[in-house]
A and B are shown apart, each in its own frame.
Chain A
């Protein structure tokens, strides 16, 4: 057993930390999040050049064959800086699905482009009625000649607006909420009948609602076997949850550091407010929640590298539940301990609070994962 990073992982961490330091001052991030795109294509290029966009892909397809622990290392630093580029959406979700379900031709057409930074992806899974149930799919794909016709609505697709291609889960057979009968399609953003409505999200990122009205795709748009996508989706989403939890750990750690510094500096009643015992204990609780979360995020990354069993799924849900609880507590108390300063959009702490709150909800909130944890056996 070993929780220490390898030399390469330390280098990777340093390099992402440097990127964050150079590009993600709090003012720079706010400015960037308010642009139309909501992130920087230059940063994206830089991330490609540094090899990060190829991290989790196998060497055969031009990637670095990185582990879940490597992703965890990157995501933690990304979380510290509240980085806006769509790494999770493009590389982990979209790229992950193509790599896991696609055939050789599809992988060759897409993955190298992702690694080079030329193509962005997103994954549309949630629907208006689905809440967090990945199998609650009403978007339909009907066979038509060689290809399919897609109809339906995907809700709150993170980074759906900037994606060149969108992976869509759709039902090819069965009833809504059946695990069987779900298929994955990779659809061009310009496909006729596809309508993308992009908007900002509370955490400074962007998402889109995507409507499909008779979107015709060829047989080559199908990723994997027809009707069998549910297990692939579950696995890739669980991998994404592992990455997201690492992001949360980075964000919590940064929020705690900023808050800790603030209560040492800020004086009221003639002393630093950090001298008040109630705030000391609160800060200690915040620190402990972040530590507990870090342990879980490390554990889940290592487990994901060992395979994908029921036990792994349980670990993912346990981690998400711990991190959901901790993220809310740390985010909210960071604002509270800053007083009025915590309420301004100019100052960084509120942005950590907002990202941490959305992380709690993404891919299933705390209640959802506690239930999943208890139902998996």
Chain B
């Protein structure tokens, strides 16, 4: 056991820090720092900068465009992104479907999709959940029926984040209803421009449009767009969920949020002094920082055990639960720090292209939007109740 960084790691850290200082666009930084949803154009612009540097997909194998970094370097990179308020890539391509494609896809699929993911030419969305199948994902009903070289897809997905921007959707579909529900699922890659696909927006609690319903009406999808074997989709789907859960923890971003909070308490006035004099409030800030530290070292301990060749079981679930609980409490505290200025709230578009700024101090713009959106963090990626079920079954044998 050894906590210290080697000299190479320290040099690497300096290199990443310098790169981010020089290359992170100010608008991207500002939006991410406030906790607001990224704009597509800005996200793509930033992701292309990362890709030009070769740093868009540190977790991918080198042969597909990964960096070949050690676990320590990946950790340092994530920390530095958080510290600089640099958003990690939108997950649907790089962290979700990309690894499924290079792990289970065929050569043609790898050639066709992976470079375009790396260079942000394709925007992906995730077609898993359905109205009747959320936590019980395997019960999904969207059907794909073979017809010559195509599948004909009919059904509906829901809660599809950013589908309105997407070029492609990776979709779980039912190809067999005869046996166990997990055994009749296939994993399809579908072009969003295919005739028969329609979208309906869902406006969220935060008054923003990130969610959608996606309807499939006789949508023809070439069989060659299927990943791996027919009816084996559940295996690929679960592989993806493991990656998704780990990425939802967002430890580095929470660290940056604590810094923001510590900034705000120095400016927010209270009884002639500042909020930082309020011991009750600061105790909550300190508590959350300690919780986050425990989570960070849990993640590091897991990464080290992966390096040592051990297999993970339900550890991603632990990261997901603790990480999202911390995010939710943290944004709640950010809102609380604003006092009465926690209450004003309007949809973002009100201020777009106008000189008017939201009322209150500049730092009050953002926390409520993020607080509202992050109520979903204990729901998406498998709810926290479901994650607890997983740990209790897989780790504790209950």
Task: List the A side residues contacting B136 at CB < 8 Å.
Answer: 268-270
Task: List the A side residues contacting B133 at CB < 8 Å.
Answer: 268
B281-A343 in contact (CB<8A): no
A340-B158 in contact (CB<8A): yes
Given known contacts A269-B135, A336-B379, A339-B135, is B343 in contact with A365 (CB within 8 Å)? no
> Which of B203, B271, B344 sits near A200, CB closer than 8 Å?
B344
Task: List the B side residues contacting A270 at CB < 8 Å.
Answer: 136
Contacting A at CB under 8 A, from B103-159, are 129, 132-136, 139, 158-159
A155-B340 in contact (CB<8A): yes
Task: List the A side residues contacting B211 at CB < 8 Å.
Answer: 340, 343-344
| Partner-binding segment picked from B166-174, B254-262, B368-376 | B368-376
A344-B343 in contact (CB<8A): no
Task: List the A side residues contacting B384 at CB < 8 Å.
Answer: 336
B271-A361 in contact (CB<8A): no
Q: Count residues of B near A (Cβ-Cβ below 8 Å).
A: 49
Task: List the B side residues contacting A353 at CB < 8 Å.
Answer: 205, 375
Task: List the B side residues contacting A202 at CB < 8 Å.
Answer: 342-345, 368, 372
B345-A346 in contact (CB<8A): no
A26-52 interface code vs B (CB 8 A; 1 in, 0 out): 000000000000000000000000000
A361-B340 in contact (CB<8A): yes
A200-234 interface code vs B (CB 8 A; 1 in, 0 out): 11110001010000000000000000000000000
Q: Is B68's CB within 8 Å of the partner chain A? A: no
Given known contacts A129-B269, A344-B202, is B379 in contact with A339 (CB within 8 Å)? yes
Contacting B at CB under 8 A, from A46-96, are none
Q: Is B341's CB within 8 Å of the partner chain A? A: yes
B341-A155 in contact (CB<8A): yes
A169-195 interface code vs B (CB 8 A; 1 in, 0 out): 000000011000000000000000000
A133-B379 in contact (CB<8A): no
Q: Is B207's CB within 8 Å of the partner chain A? A: yes
Task: List the A side residues contacting B205 at CB < 8 Å.
Answer: 335, 343-345, 350, 353-354
A268-B344 in contact (CB<8A): no
Contacting B at CB under 8 A, from A111-135, are 126, 128-133
A267 to B136, CA, bound (A): 9
How many Å from the CB of A346 to the closest CB on chain B?
7
A268-B135 in contact (CB<8A): yes
Contacting B at CB under 8 A, from A328-351, are 332, 335-336, 339-340, 342-346, 350
How many Å from the CB of B357 to the closest CB on chain A?
11
Contacting A at CB under 8 A, from B252-304, are 268-272, 275, 278, 280-281
Q: Is A16's CB within 8 Å of the partner chain B? A: no
> Which of A130, A133, A199 sits near B346, CB closer than 8 Å?
A199
Q: Is B204's CB within 8 Å of the partner chain A? A: yes
Q: Is A279's CB within 8 Å of the partner chain B? A: yes
Q: Is A21's CB within 8 Å of the partner chain B? A: no
Task: List the B side residues contacting A298 at CB < 8 Å.
Answer: none
Q: Is B40's CB within 8 Å of the partner chain A? A: no
A329 to B279, CA, bound (A): 23
A273 to B386, CA, bound (A): 12
Q: Is B327's CB within 8 Å of the partner chain A? A: no
Q: Is B398's CB within 8 Å of the partner chain A? A: no
How many Å from the CB of B343 to the closest CB on chain A?
4
Q: Is B30's CB within 8 Å of the partner chain A? A: no
Given known contacts A199-B359, A371-B280, is B342 in contact with A207 (CB within 8 Å)? no
Given known contacts A131-B339, A177-B271, is B207 in contact with A345 (CB within 8 Å)? yes
Q: Is A285's CB within 8 Å of the partner chain B? A: no
Task: List the A side residues contacting B344 at CB < 8 Å.
Answer: 156, 199-202, 207
Q: Is B378's CB within 8 Å of the partner chain A? A: yes
Task: List the A side residues contacting B280 at CB < 8 Å.
Answer: 367, 370-371
Q: Which chain B residue lies CB-closest to A363?
A: B340
A267 to B372, CA, bound (A): 26
Contacting A at CB under 8 A, from B72-90, are none
B360-A155 in contact (CB<8A): yes
Q: Which chain B residue lies CB-closest to A269?
A: B136
Q: Is A278's CB within 8 Å of the partner chain B? A: yes
B270-A340 in contact (CB<8A): no
Q: Is B383's CB within 8 Å of the partner chain A? A: yes
Q: Is B336's CB within 8 Å of the partner chain A? A: yes
Contacting A at CB under 8 A, from B362-398, are 368, 372, 375-376, 378-380, 383-385, 388
Task: List the A side residues contacting B375 at CB < 8 Å.
Answer: 332, 335-336, 342-343, 353
> Which of B139, B207, B343 sits near A156, CB closer than 8 Å?
B343
How many Å from the CB of A55 to the closest CB on chain B?
26
Q: Which chain A residue lies CB-closest to B284?
A: A367
A343-B376 in contact (CB<8A): yes
Q: Is A238's CB within 8 Å of the partner chain B? A: no
A123-164 interface code vs B (CB 8 A; 1 in, 0 out): 000101111110010000000000000000001100000000
Task: List the B side residues contacting A354 at CB < 8 Å.
Answer: 205, 372
A339-B134 in contact (CB<8A): yes
A340-B203 in contact (CB<8A): no
Q: Is A106's CB within 8 Å of the partner chain B? A: no
Q: Is A276's CB within 8 Å of the partner chain B? A: yes
B343-A358 in contact (CB<8A): yes
A133-B340 in contact (CB<8A): no
Q: Is A264's CB within 8 Å of the partner chain B? A: no
> Which of A207, A267, A346 sits near B343, CB closer than 8 Å?
A207
A20 to B269, CA, bound (A): 40
Contacting B at CB under 8 A, from A227-246, are none
Task: List the B side residues contacting A132 at CB < 8 Å.
Answer: 339-340
A176 to B273, CA, bound (A): 12
A176 to B346, CA, bound (A): 32
Q: Is A197's CB within 8 Å of the partner chain B? A: yes
Task: List the A side residues contacting B204 at CB < 8 Å.
Answer: 343-345
How many Å from the CB of B327 to the closest CB on chain A?
13
Interface of B with A (CB < 8 Å)?
A: 129, 132-136, 139, 158-159, 202-205, 207, 211, 268-272, 275, 278, 280-281, 335-336, 339-346, 358-361, 368, 372, 375-376, 378-380, 383-385, 388
Given contacts A343-B205, A343-B375, A354-B205, 12 further A-B contacts (CB under 8 A): A128-B269, A132-B340, A133-B271, A199-B358, A268-B135, A273-B135, A278-B385, A342-B379, A353-B205, A358-B343, A367-B280, A371-B280
Interface CB pairs A-B, < 8 A, 17: A156-B343, A156-B360, A176-B272, A199-B346, A202-B344, A209-B359, A268-B134, A268-B136, A270-B136, A278-B385, A336-B375, A336-B384, A339-B379, A340-B376, A342-B375, A343-B375, A345-B207
